[in-house]
Amino acid sequence: MMRLKVIAVGHLKEPFYRLAQEEYRKRLQRYARVTIIEVADEPVPEREKERTLVKEREGERLLQKASNCLCVALDPGGKALTSEELASWLGREMDAGRGEIAFFLGGTLGLSPSVLRRADLSLSLSRLTFPHQLARVILLEQLYRAFRILRGEPYHY
């Protein structure tokens, strides 16, 4: 069974985001083992130089949680896929024998350049900007939708 890791900066504080995350994680259990790993975030400093350092420290914490797996960075500048294209990509990775895929989600400041360099794929969820907490829920929903598409199971389009 495919293993998916969602490795995110920060904790979901709002109950509605936590409930949505758990609902999609529960739905995904039929298709994959999903682990959600949260690494500590830091307060956002005012100076740009300090922001760069914070982003790098958060990035180091993300990278420590992924080893020997395909890494996907969620980044606004990444490749935009339709749900069907995401399903097709996921299917190809499964067919290639990928045992584990890690998805990196940055915090308020986004992902560090070191995380973006490590990523095998940089993926954009949308050209719109979302709070990083909501991006986590959207990612889980899209992964669930991708598995449904791969299995030919009905899902609202």
Mean pLDDT of the chain: 96
- Average pLDDT for 61-84: 95
> Known binding site for S-adenosyl-L-methionine: residues?
74, 106, 125-130
pLDDT digits (tens, 9 = 90+) for 41-65: 999 999 999 999 999 999 999 999 9
DSSP code per residue over the chain: -EEEEEEEES---SHHHHHHHHHHHHHHTTTEEEEEEEE------SSHHHHHHHHHHHHHHHHHT--SSEEEEEEEEEEE--HHHHHHHHHHHHHTT--EEEEEE-BTTB--HHHHHH-SEEEES-SS---HHHHHHHHHHHHHHHHHHHTT-----
**20 pLDDT above the threshold of 80:** yes
> Known binding site: residues?
74, 106, 125-130
pLDDT digits (tens, 9 = 90+) for 116-145: 999 999 999 999 989 999 999 999 999 999
Nearest-angstrom CA–CA distance, 10 and 40: 5
> For position 145, what pLDDT does the model report?
97
Of 129, 131, 142, 130, which is closest to residue 103 (Cα–Cα)?
A: 142
Nearest-angstrom CA–CA distance, 94 and 33: 13
Longest dimension (CA), the chain: 50
**Domains of the chain, start order:** 2-150 (3.40.1280.10)
> For position 67, what pLDDT does the model report?
85
> For position 157, what pLDDT does the model report?
58
- Average pLDDT for 2-23: 97
Tokens representing 141 are: 């929903």
> For position 83, what pLDDT does the model report?
96
Tell me the whole-structure pTM to 2 decimals: 0.95
**81 pLDDT above the threshold of 80:** yes
